[in-house]
Chains A and B, each alone.
Chain A
Amino acid sequence: MTGVAPDLLERARAGDKRATARLLSVVENDEPGAAEVLRSVYPQTGRARIVGVTGPPGGGKSTLVDRLAGAYRERGERVAVVAVDPSSPFSGGALLGDRIRMRERFLDEGVFIRSMASRGHGGGLARTTARVVNVLDALGYGVVLVETIGVGQEEVDVVRVADTVCLVTVPGLGDDIQAIKAGILEIADVLVLNKADRPGADETARDLAGTLTLGKPRTAWKPPIVRTVATAGEGVAELVEAIARHFAWAAQSGERDRRRRAAARGEVEELLRDALVRRLRALLGEERVDAAVARVAGREIDPYAAVEELVRGGTGE
């Protein structure tokens, strides 16, 4: 333990935003002290309502998040926003632009906005987004809005983080609705048809409603379709209402507990995997891994045999 993090935590708890920001970096980057931070905040987590906002690029997610933040502020909540944008697969850098749509909130004392780069993680969020959300939850933000990168079909990590997932789509994607129905549509608790003042909104709403009735529903919850024009703030009150209804249903039906258990399992298994790999590599030493890689590349042994050998060597089986 470095001694830095506990002091940060204390200051963050007292409302120091600078300390909060540093604390989030410690957790985001897995810096020394990250595990201790999470350990000490964990008992205070689970109190915030965590709302995920996902959907294709350009659908208006950031604008909608901005409007939602405003609506929750009017209801007296402290609001945190975690907005994820993709990292470049080539340079590792990222242009994080979600804030452009959230300028009205920059100087609101009751709002904290944090941008995260996905850093090569594939599920629509960054690897440490869930932990960043945990910290904000523990610091007393009543609502945490989590905006994913612009997603296509399979980026469904948000369901592991959020209590309620809003899928934002727009008119005119037409048959693309068919494309998203398999993965992402399944995780939607609330369907948002944004830019609903555009031509084709009625058809898209009908397509969405049709898609929802195609298969056997996973639960008794029927995702409502809420029409919004985020830029004008239209439909935002209805969206807040729909989110609240889902939250109440999820709490009372046991869905919320089920989801939180699944999320906990995911988190524990990931950390377990990390810890095992780290320990195994330390036991083996890089040279042995490199030697095995060289033999695989030289077609002396196959990759399965190489891994089997390494695991045996590391665990002393």
Chain B
Amino acid sequence: MSTGTPATSEPVKRPIRVVVAKAGLDGHDRGAKVVARALRDAGMEVIYTGVHQTPEQVVETALQEDVDAIGVSLLSGAHNFIFPRIAELMREKGLDDVLLFGGGIIPEADVPGLKQVGVDRVFPPGASLDEIVRYLDEAVGKRRGAVA
């Protein structure tokens, strides 16, 4: 699956599709880009939308792109507003089977609250890229297994 398969091959195995978004007002997207690149290098298809996304834009992108997961990077401190809003919109739009995960500057004390509103996993600063890749592989695999 890693090499470019010719047109005559069997149906392609569906790669994991992920939206990586920078929501809110801070424009520091280096972390998001590093994660996007790592996911690409792990064989995933990453839809990257750039900075300053509203929760509405993030969720609509996820919907149209039919992704398995949404990863949101937040450094601005607005996580307690933005994550619940994204989760709420996901429920509204029927994206219940899509994973929501996040990273950035998020105090550990806030993590349980975020999990409660539907954030599956929060990666603190210093989380390794391998950890994020492994998490997505496993969590998406599990979800797909449950849906099929």
Q: Per-residue 0/1 for B49-65: is the Cβ within 8 Å of any A Cβ (1 yes, 0 no)?
A: 11001001100110111
Which residues in chain B, 58-77, are within 8 Å of chain A measured between CB atoms?
60-61, 63-66
A113 close to chain B: CB less than 8 A: yes
- Please tell me if the beta carbons of B37 and A95 are within 8 angstroms of each other in the complex: yes
Interface-lining segment among B2-10, B103-111, B112-120? B2-10
Q: Which residue of B lies closest to A276 (CB)?
A: B8
Given contacts A90-B2, A93-B15, A100-B50, contact A106 B57 (CB under 8 A): yes
A216 close to chain B: CB less than 8 A: no
Contacts of A29 in B (CB 8 A): 11-12, 14
Tell me the smallest distance from the CB of B144 to a CB of chain A, in Å.
12
Interface residues on A, range: 35 or more
Contacts of B87 in A (CB 8 A): none
Tell me the smallest distance from the CB of A97 to a CB of chain B, in Å.
5
Q: Which residue of B lies closest to A99 (CB)?
A: B49
Contact residues of A: prevailing secondary structure: mixed
- Please tell me if the beta carbons of A18 and B47 are within 8 angstroms of each other in the complex: no
Contacts of A31 in B (CB 8 A): 11, 14
A252 close to chain B: CB less than 8 A: no
Interface-lining segment among A20-28, A186-194, A288-296? A20-28
Cross-interface CB contact of B7 among A88, A117, A273, cutoff 8 Å: A273
B positions within 8 Å CB-CB of A: 1-8, 10-12, 14-15, 36-37, 39-50, 53, 56-57, 60-61, 63-66, 93-95
CA distance A312 to B57 in the complex (A): 56
- Please tell me if the beta carbons of A100 and B48 are within 8 angstroms of each other in the complex: yes
A87 close to chain B: CB less than 8 A: yes
Q: Which residue of A lies closest to B20 (CB)?
A: A95
Q: Per-residue 0/1 for A63-104: is the Cβ within 8 Å of any B Cβ (1 yes, 0 no)?
A: 000000000000000000000000111111111110110010
- Please tell me if the beta carbons of B12 and A93 are within 8 angstroms of each other in the complex: no
Given contacts A29-B11, A29-B14, contact A94 B46 (CB under 8 A): yes
CA distance A188 to B135 in the complex (A): 45
Tell me the smallest distance from the CB of A33 to a CB of chain B, in Å.
11
Contacts of B56 in A (CB 8 A): 106-107
Given contacts A17-B63, A89-B4, A106-B57, contact A95 B48 (CB under 8 A): yes
Tell me the smallest distance from the CB of A308 to a CB of chain B, in Å.
18
Tell me the smallest distance from the CB of B145 to a CB of chain A, in Å.
16
CA distance A22 to B44 in the complex (A): 18
Cross-interface CB contact of B48 among A90, A97, A112, A278, cutoff 8 Å: A97
Contacts of B6 in A (CB 8 A): 120
- Please tell me if the beta carbons of A93 and B46 are within 8 angstroms of each other in the complex: yes
CA distance A301 to B37 in the complex (A): 44
- Please tell me if the beta carbons of A21 and B65 are within 8 angstroms of each other in the complex: yes
- Please tell me if the beta carbons of B40 and A18 are within 8 angstroms of each other in the complex: no
Given A87-B45, A121-B7, output 11 extra A-B contacts at Cβ < 8 Å. A17-B64, A21-B63, A31-B14, A88-B40, A90-B2, A91-B41, A93-B41, A96-B48, A99-B47, A127-B7, A278-B10
- Please tell me if the beta carbons of B8 and A117 are within 8 angstroms of each other in the complex: no
A277 close to chain B: CB less than 8 A: yes
